[in-house]
Chains A and B, each alone.
Chain A
Amino acid sequence: MRSIYERFRDSIRSEVPVALATLIEGPEVGAKLLVEESGFALGSLGGDALDRVVSRDAIAMLEAGTSEVRHYGPEGEARQHDLSVFIECHARRPHLVIFGAVDFTRALASQGKLLGFRVTVCDAREVFATRRRFPMADEVVVDWPDRLLERIGGDLGPRDAVCVLTHDAKFDVPAIMGALPTRVGYLGAMGSRQTHEKRVVRLLEEGVTSAELERVRSPIGLDIGGRTPEETAVSIVAEIIALRTGREAPSLSEGKGSIH
């Protein structure tokens, strides 16, 4: 049988979400309980009741991907401080989905990888969406944005991001419409203010409400004056980080002036 360490190592290496609970204050310092999303558990912190409560908390924490110390009573009671348990969570990687296989996509895909995202590049045009052009991406998909989102939209959550870089209403509109019903945390669309105004008209015609459109960050990125694909990619990932952390950083979508 594999040890707890071996299971933990293998889960992390094969990207299976896993939580490792360690008793760091209490009678059996160092006791371990490994928990996976499926409910699979290995080890014990010293009692069935405690293990059940910690397993439940660990599975909830896995979704958010946070690691922290939780306090419990001897039987896992909440609001008691007899035991301290460090719950270390290794969530699945957040997912960055980029629509449009353009030059900006290469830089954004590389930035996304640097930040630990699983990166998918999607474009309906076969000549552009090739592995050779995007070797850094985890997947390159030749398909229409709405069709890809029909397949994967249900899996997108608050830590994930969708960036629409096509600049072409034919692709942008179905990409945005496909992303709006999902739980994705970040939804940004590239284009000047003028491009976005035209896109908004199209989206409203398609039945999207203006309240829904408030979720769309466009022009995409933070206002750092970036011009090149690489600089623009930094401004986009910076906006993704700022939205997740709830920090106030000036977004281009909140300003008025020219974006360059």
Chain B
Amino acid sequence: MNIDSIKNGIVIDHITAGKGMEIYKLLGLDSLDCSVALIKNVASRKMGKKDIIKIDSDFDVDTDILGFVDPDVTVNIIKDGKTAEKKTIGLPERLTNVLVCKNPRCISVTEQELPQIFKLTDKERRVYRCLYCETKAK
């Protein structure tokens, strides 16, 4: 299967196989006008299988969402048909308006204009807690 290479845009590589669609949706790629390719189950030496997303435009990727869903992905920025920058993402220290606090006693549940902020409190166990009430994200 051939997908044209892109001239100026972004390639999200090394997505854990099966997570491509989730990332596609969370990043809101369905609302873009440009060409977007989601390629599933690509053979990978390192991972066995992986997903790849190619976006044929200069799109500002939300690395917080990306890092939270799949911290081992790489983001390649393509300029004039060449890789201009390669970024590894990792777990973000803070997530803003990605998760919603489920604690009915939390101020962010009552005052809905407050940003929903979660902070990484345990990197090893990948635990995020609400900034306001410290409830664990589910």
Chain A complexes with chain B: no
A interface, CB within 8 angstroms of B: none
B interface, CB within 8 angstroms of A: none
